[in-house]
Amino acid sequence: MTQVLNATRDLSGGFKVDLSRGERIGRVSSEWFSRPADERYLSLSELFEAVQTRTERSRTRTVESAAIRVEASRNDAERLKLVLPGSDIPIAPTHWSFGQLASLVGAPAAYLRQLPAPLAGINLQYGLTSHRSEQVKTLEIEDGRVELRAVTGPDYGRIFDRELVAAVQRIAGNGTGDTRWKVPGVLDWSTSIYNPRADITKDTTTLYASDRDVFLFLVDDLNPIEAGRLRDGSADLYF
């Protein structure tokens, strides 16, 4: 709940916020605190371009699990690689996809991760060849090296991040104020004044994407809902 500071709402105006009321969303604060500069974007179009590029570097295919070959070298005891059918280029499993493969053959992923790569590779290869062969769908992304990001069932449906961002763009445009939905403004904690028209910078944006995820948070903070009047007669507003 907020109290209007400047009823004319000109470019220098803002809202006086009662910090003892309302709700704080910890997930947004966590994302803002943890995201490095190269994962922060200033508009939805910029964010879309980034996730679109990632999608263009990815591919999915369906293979037989028993045909997956595990490779590991004694010279690199911490790295394990996989060779999928139809290609001689080894790919590196991520933490997530390694766990999916281990689960597929009934092996404890946490234990395998503690073993040297050659020993873990022997166990995983045995599981893949001795376990009942089945079709699996892989998601591979090339980003300096080819990574295996996911191993799922053949009928698994995937929604790429570009599809999510494109869907939001149809509602929120560029997310910069060209529609009602936009990146939030800035709260001055020393004065409790919220400025919805603050410039969007790397420090204030709420549009994030890494090489494997995306997070967006938009608000309609220029059109608060009036819920009544406060004791001083000013509008009691909800964002």
> 3-state SS of the chain?
CEEECCCCCCCCCCEEECCCCCCCCHHHHHHHHHCCHHHEECCHHHHHHHHHHHHHCEEEEEEEHHHCEEEEECCEEEEEEEECCCCCCCEEECHHHHHHHHHHCCCCHHHHHHCCHHHHHHHHHHHHHHCCCCEEEEEEEECCCEEEEEEECCCCCCCCHHHHHHHHHHHHCCCECCCCCECCCEEECCCCEEECCCCCCCCCCCEEECCCCEEECCECCCCCEEEEECCCCCEEEEC
In this prediction, residue 77 carries a pLDDT of 55
Residue 20 to residue 139: CA distance in whole angstroms: 46
φ, ψ of residue 233 in degrees (nearest 5):
95, -10
Hey, where are the domains in the chain?
A: 2-43+174-238, 57-152
- In the chain, the percentage of residues whose pLDDT exceeds 90 is 55
pLDDT at position 193 over 50 = yes
In this prediction, residue 4 carries a pLDDT of 41
CA-closest candidate to residue 122, choices 175, 170, 73, 167 = 73
The pTM assigned to this predicted structure is 0.77
């944006």: which residue's tokens?
205
pLDDT at position 1 over 50 = no
Count of alpha carbons within 13 angstroms of residue 76, beta-carbon side: 7
The most confident of the ranges 21-25, 61-65, 210-214 is 61-65
pLDDT at position 72 over 50 = yes
């449906």: which residue's tokens?
157
Phi-psi region of 198 (alpha: psi -120 to 50; beta: other; left: phi over 0): beta
pLDDT at position 110 over 70 = yes
Instruction: Please give the mean pLDDT across all residues of the chain.
Output: 86
pLDDT at position 23 over 90 = no
């709940």: which residue's tokens?
1
In this prediction, residue 87 carries a pLDDT of 84
